[in-house]
Amino acid sequence: MYKTPYRGAYGTEFMRMIDLIYCAGGNPRLSQIADEEGWLIGFRSDYVAPTHPICFIDIDYKHPDFMAHLRTVTKHKPKYAIVPDLSDKMIDQQDIDRAIKQAELLTGYCEIPLIVPKLSGQLRTANPSLRWKS
């Protein structure tokens, strides 16, 4: 798994708790600048052109291919990997269950799988014990 402390110019304790991620389509110069500043580097799983260690793997949300995404995550073992997005049209328990199962699969190959909710209430449906501050 990819683990590195934040080593950028902003060395406050607060900034050491934040992972700054540069994620773009393979621009080596911008990736180099981000790396020099201590940012983590990310790519989309359908366009991995690593110039530095990959710490974040996104997925094409319009046309997600989870099995191809899982193979990429398995190969690179990033700190973060995105689970294909939840529906932006409705709150659906099957969709939430799908995302949770995919997150569990990714957990074997990344430190932190990220589920992207699209509608208010999706997280509460996934875990009713969550309490939100107003």
- Structure tokens, 28: 């080596």
Which domains occur in the chain, in start order?
Answer: 13-126 (3.40.50)
What's the average model confidence in pLDDT over 69-91?
Answer: 94
Q: What is the mean pLDDT of the chain?
A: 82
Which pLDDT does position 9 carry in this prediction?
45
Which pLDDT does position 3 carry in this prediction?
46
pLDDT of 113 strictly over 90: yes
Q: Are 56 and 42 in contact (CB under 8 A)?
A: yes
- pLDDT tens sequence across 3-43: 444 444 445 555 567 899 998 767 888 888 988 888 999 99
- Structure tokens, 58: 């996104």
Which pLDDT does position 12 carry in this prediction?
53
What's the average model confidence in pLDDT over 99-108?
Answer: 95
CB atoms within 10 A of CB 41: 22
Distance CA 73, CA 17 (A): 24
CA 36 to chain centre: 21
Which pLDDT does position 80 carry in this prediction?
96
